[in-house]
Amino acid sequence: MIMVEVVAVAKLGRPGMSDEDRQQLWDRWARGESISQIARAILRPPGSVFTVLKGTGGYVPAPRRRREGSLTLAEREEISRGLAREESMRTIAARLGRSPSTISREIGRNKGPRKYRAVDAEDQAWRRARRPKLCLLARNERLRRFVSGKLGVDWSPEQIAGYLRKHHEPGSGMRVSHETIYKSLFVQARGVLAKNLQRHLRSGRPIRRNVHNTVTGQWRSQITDAVSIRHRPAEVADRAVPGHWEGDLLIGRGQTQIATVVERSTRFTVLVALSGKDMRSVTHGLSTVMTRLPAQVLKSLTWDRGMELAGHKTVSANTGLQVYFADPASPWQRGTNENTNRLLRQYFPKGTRIDFSQDDLDQVAHQLNTRPRKTLDFDTPADRIAALLR
């Protein structure tokens, strides 16, 4: 019986996020910390933090409270042990100092004596205790239609609330606060306002942020130990020494992407198939494909500030490439790569999926590398890099 209850504990709650982490997340969000700051503090990916926040539309949930007199987890565990010993409900009730009817109802609403599990019963008790009340817009159809109509023509929630306050008397049923409108938009579990109305909000935010939530001056999505392009050796800039590369992601429709890496002096291009644009996928892809090249042409790699290369130390250890990062919003610092990406759009037009195998990408790279280039005096990138390796 003990082993069964341990398994039940493992299933309880949201996988991967403990109650302590979740509480810390909400405490930090209420204090105005950014998603990136919270993610670093609780050692979770920013996406996981955002998923939790989005569940309530960014509104800090009210603390859970147990109704006075309700059964505790310890009492439910005692009920479970009593049932395992085949004790009667009266015997269990007497030991707990509870009414037999209380024990009977508890067991009956949680799958009966044979399937009763303390942790599952505790979880269901919290779920039943929520009892969400219908919000104002859900109770008042006339008001809901007015609010939906004005949101649809790009009125802000504050404009709607102010207009109603000016033209309708208190008690008329045609008044609502702007915060109630925001809540009905962002907390989709309410099922009151259509989700597509969010597109009419000027902020474009997917969750509500209160006055304390600001990212001004905060340290956001920083790459640990990133080396700036300003510290890159001078030999890279004049293209006299081969082996220095520039890279970035080429994005397609439906969250598809590939990594494009081009050598600065020869314009030799390498394409890397990626299963995603997360750090692990990009790190693994670059490490696997770039190590197919001779070590003598693997000196440095300049990338933009995307978090997909936050694992740059691993790439350096696996390939021998010293990674440098361009300044934010400075694509001209990777001009060779930007120009190459424009050439690649002939093969991967914007708005199309880029989910090709590595073999397919190798064929595209071969075509590009065997085309004469004016900047190379009409040599091909393949000719130039072959000359270096002889």
Domain shared by 17 and 88, yes or no: no
Please say which residue of 130, 154, 169 terminates a domain: 130
Domain shared by 256 and 361, yes or no: yes
Domain shared by 239 and 372, yes or no: yes
Spatial separation of the C-alpha atoms in residues 35 and 52, rounded to whole Å: 11
Confirm whether 179 is domain-assigned: yes
Tokens of 340: 């190459």
Domain shared by 238 and 384, yes or no: yes
Domain shared by 125 and 161, yes or no: no
Confirm whether 68 is domain-assigned: no
What's the predicted TM-score (pTM) here? Answer: 0.51
The whole domain housing 49 covers 2-55
Confirm whether 248 is domain-assigned: yes
Confirm whether 214 is domain-assigned: no
Domain shared by 125 and 140, yes or no: no
Tokens of 165: 């306050």
Q: What share of the chain is helix, strand, coil (3-state, %, to 5)?
A: 50, 10, 40
For position 16, which CATH number holds?
Answer: 1.10.10
Identify which of 177, 205, 211 has the alpha carbon closest to the alpha carbon of residue 54: 205
Confirm whether 213 is domain-assigned: no
Please say which residue of 200, 216, 247 terminates a domain: 200
Q: Residues with Cβ < 8 Å from 240, sequence gap 6 or more?
A: 265
Count of the separate structural domains present in the chain = 4
Tokens of 282: 């990009």
Tens of pLDDT, residues 77-86:
999 999 999 9
For position 315, which CATH number holds?
Answer: 3.30.420.10
Domain shared by 292 and 341, yes or no: yes
Domain shared by 46 and 89, yes or no: no
> Among all chains, which residue has been given the structure tokens 């702007």?
178
Domain shared by 338 and 248, yes or no: yes
Give the pLDDT of residue 7: 33
Confirm whether 217 is domain-assigned: no
Q: Walk along the chain (390 residues) and give the pLDDT tens digit of each residue.
A: 333 333 333 333 344 678 788 889 988 888 888 888 888 888 888 888 888 888 888 888 877 777 777 888 899 999 999 999 999 999 999 999 999 999 999 999 898 998 999 889 888 887 777 666 678 888 889 999 999 999 999 899 999 999 999 999 988 999 999 988 988 888 766 678 888 888 888 877 778 776 555 555 544 556 888 899 999 998 898 898 999 999 999 999 888 999 999 999 999 999 999 988 888 999 999 999 999 999 999 999 999 988 889 899 999 999 999 999 998 888 999 999 999 999 999 999 999 999 999 999 999 999 999 999 999 999 999 999 999 887
Domain shared by 158 and 119, yes or no: no
Domain shared by 276 and 336, yes or no: yes
φ/ψ of 251, rounded to 5, equals -100, 135
C-alpha of 227 from chain center: 26
Domain shared by 343 and 361, yes or no: yes
